[in-house]
Structure 1
Amino acid sequence: MHYAEKVLIPLHPPLLTAAPYGWLWSLAKKILQQYLLGVTGRSCEEAHDKASPLHLCCQWGLTSVVQTLIEHDAAINIKNEELKTPLHVAIENQNPSIISLLLCHPNIDLTLRDKRGLTPFATALTCRNIKAAQAILVKLPTAAEQADDHDAYRQTALHVAAAAGHEAAVSALLQNGSNFNATDSNGDNALHIAAREGHLSVARVLLTESSLDAETVNIKGQNPLHVLSRYSRENSSAMCELFLECMPNYPLNQPDLHGNTALLLAYMKGNGNLCRILVKAGACLGAMNKDGVTIFNYQVATKQLLYRKRFCYDVNSADKVLSP
């Protein structure tokens, strides 16, 4: 028996169960050998991405090896090239048993951020790992206060949760006092993000569980309705109806910095259903942007919308109708 095996077997008996599976035994043995040769949890032959053995085990889901490394004082808060700790990696790989092991460590630091500026709590929200987020809150209740910290793009955890489409996390953040009007480096609040990504359930939570300013404009002069029209996701019509239900007096005809209204943006995208809803709600058909473009002279394929969707406008009446 090789000397390394004599060391490894008493070190971690459960690894014996891996013996019949040559590749797994070799892998586990190599990881532990590298760890035993290191002084900070990294091997002498450090991986190109600066991943420690603990990072690798968290990535591959080797719970037993993670436990052994922790028992033998592996550096719990060590960072890889992306500045991710083993906990970041475990959360990203959705491994609850490893996450629990790491959170039980008395020296775990839940405030460390990766290159994107994300703490483990924010990472859990990004990955839609609500159980991990809840476990972190149990371990560190003040983690919710980190929700309003900004990353490199000035995004808060609420932005991250909105982008991920996780309505439960958005609701939890709002209940814990998250700043619902926070804006990122583009001037977008969480509702802009939800509209851009087409997350209807998130938009509903934001509009019904907070006093968010839904008329906030970003650096392009666009409110969430502009963004909704610009990106025109499949459920944009349903989200527009939600806007109108929650905010009957929403400024439908407000232009962005280029003079585009929500209707004009939706028309340019060829979104006939959204156009119909906006016109029925009172959007102006004759709005012109700074380039002199209207829905009547826009020269692309969507020009056919005027006929294909059979826009009807009675110039002798204040009523606007968009027939099906």
Structure 2
Amino acid sequence: TPLHIACKNNNETIVKYLIEHGADINIKHYNLYTMLHYACENKNENLVKYLIEKGANIYIKNKLGDTPLEIAQKKNAENIMDYIEKKRDEYTKLLTACENNNENIVKDLVEQPSANVNIQNKDGNTALHLACQNKMKTL
């Protein structure tokens, strides 16, 4: 797709334009790479941050079974690894709170500036889906 080509070639301007105009951020290429895989492979920290903030799934595996974090590890991209691990920890807290129907914790977490209720767990469920399944009123 044009989005894959732009991301693979580190063209942040086109990537942002396409995403802002509705391109699927988690669409997979023939090798099952997502935009986030390519950004990690290219060690493009700005693009990694942008994609994650826009809802890129950090758990999707490519054809070889690698997540974006594992790609970053293979490329020795320490800043990217740290960022993804930090986000993974934040996501885990929010997703766990939603799964356990703990509205007070969810409320505290979503009030943080970096909160993203559209993050996905490894099954593709978002915090918003889990909150709805549990009939949470906070979200």
TM-score surpassing 0.5? Answer: yes
Q: Which runs of 5+ in 1 are unaligned?
A: 1-51, 145-324
Other-structure match for 1:140: 88
Residue identity in the other structure for 1:128: N
Q: Aligned in 2, Cα 1:72/1:93: closer, same or farther, shift over 3 Å?
A: same
Within a 5 Å distance, the mapping from 1:1-324 to structure 2 comes to 52-106=1-55, 108-141=56-89
1:261-280, Cα deviation, whole Å (9 max, x unpaired) = xxxxxxxxxxxxxxxxxxxx
SS across alignment from 1:101: helix
SS across alignment from 1:73: coil
| Residue correspondences, number | 92
Q: Which runs of 5+ in 2 are unaligned?
A: 93-139
Contact 1:110 1:121 survives alignment (8 Å):
yes
Task: Give the TM-score normalised by the residue count of structure 2.
Answer: 0.61
> What is the deviation of 1:89?
0.6
Q: Aligned in 2, Cα 1:112/1:142: closer, same or farther, shift over 3 Å?
A: farther
RMSD of aligned alpha carbons: 1.8
Work out the CA distance in 2 between the residues paired with 1:73 and 1:136. 24
Contact 1:58 1:66 survives alignment (8 Å):
yes
- Larger Cα Rg: Structure 1 or Structure 2? 1
- More contact order relative to length (CA 8 Å, sep ≥ 6): 2
Residue identity in the other structure for 1:113: K
Other-structure match for 2:103: none
Task: Give the TM-score normalised by the residue count of structure 1.
Answer: 0.27
> What is the deviation of 1:83?
0.7
Contact 2:43 2:72 survives alignment (8 Å):
no
